[in-house]
Amino acid sequence: MFNKTTILICSLTFLITSSALASDLGVMGKNGETTPLISHSHPQAPSVVTADVMFNSAGAMDTPATQGGDYEGWGTHFLSSWTNTTGQDITVVEFGWPCGGFWARSWYVWISENLPGAPGSQDFQGTFLAASEDETEYPPSLYTYVDVAEEGIIIPAGSTMFFGYGNPGMGGQIYSGPTETWSWYEEAWDSDSEYNRTAILQFKGNFIAPTDVGSSVVTMMAHPEASPNPFNPRTTISFELPNSSTIDLKIHDLRGQLIKTLKTGTLESGHHEFLWDGTNNYGRALSSGAYFVRLKTDQGLSQRKITLVR
């Protein structure tokens, strides 16, 4: 676990709006039926995973749901977005949402600047079971937390992540919140704000910075032949190990997908250099663009952005 000196909590103002008509008739779902407005205030236990960055589409973390969405009336998948304006790369460690249902469902992530395509086109995904099997509780009061610390989900500085999950039966929502969310309904993403609601979707993450990594990685600098960075067509990745360590040295694209494995195994202490020629694991030359060098040792993870220019 990284040492943390800064806590950044993206805590958004909780906003509730409702008209007189909505108070009388309820909120109309995507299927045209009205759902009565119910205001519950269930205290939620704090998440057991701590992190440097915390975000919730509904405002404060672990916001109690005030309404719920089932398959038929609201959509089969929920989606939200978060843009990394921290100035540092972020690795995601946990997702959370109040939901209920006994079906195994998927969570998913896109690293994209635009609203993504259909579920199934995501960059990262995994499965989960809801903490509550009750798919009829309206709204759901129990949060499901999904540990994704080992999935390698990275949000580069300045990039946007879309994330969400498949509805296991009943999903937690609030009256209109500060962040737009979407539901998958009739083969398209439909904005939830049009229906006076926000799906509750949250995540936690850690800053990726050289100061966060243990002393086993003293330096990990890219050294191209002609200049420090960008490079064409080769670059030398170098680092120092004060002690023997198991390492993974890999190249990833901006979506976090593995491009090239440079070295896995154990290295002795000292200076090490590895050449990357701008090709992937199949020997194909990559196009111009930004990539990430990731070095994982026994003491932690370090990352460096490099740019290939053809």
Q: CA angle 182-178-9, nearest 5°? A: 110
Residues pairing with 270 in the sheet: 241
Residue pair 68/138 in contact by the 8 Å Cβ criterion: yes
Which token pair is 152?
A: 């390698």
Give dist(CA 20, CA 233) in Å, integer: 65
- Arithmetic mean of pLDDT, 119-124: 87
Which token pair is 297?
A: 């040792």
Among the residue ranges 126-140, 251-265, 266-280, the one predicted with the least confidence is 251-265
What 8-state DSSP symbol labels residue 157?
Answer: T
Q: What is the pLDDT of residue 44?
A: 65
Say yes or no to pLDDT of 22 above 60. no
Q: What is the pLDDT of residue 261?
A: 93
Say yes or no to pLDDT of 228 above 70. no
Strongest mean pLDDT among 67-71, 175-179, 199-203: 199-203
Which token pair is 237?
A: 């990745």
Give dist(CA 47, CA 148) in Å, integer: 14
- pLDDT digits over 131-149, tens only? 999 999 989 999 999 999 8
Strongest mean pLDDT among 39-48, 99-108, 231-240, 264-273: 99-108
Give dist(CA 280, CA 277) in Å, integer: 9
- pLDDT digits over 211-226, tens only? 343 333 333 333 323 3
Residue pair 289/140 in contact by the 8 Å Cβ criterion: no
> Residue 96: how many CA atoms within 13 Å on its side-chain side?
28
- Arithmetic mean of pLDDT, 164-184: 92
Among the residue ranges 48-62, 205-219, 252-266, the one predicted with the least confidence is 205-219
Residues pairing with 99 in the sheet: 171
Query: Could you give the domains of the chain?
Result: 8-208 (no CATH), 213-308 (2.60.40.4070)
What 8-state DSSP symbol labels residue 113?
Answer: S
Residue pair 245/299 in contact by the 8 Å Cβ criterion: yes
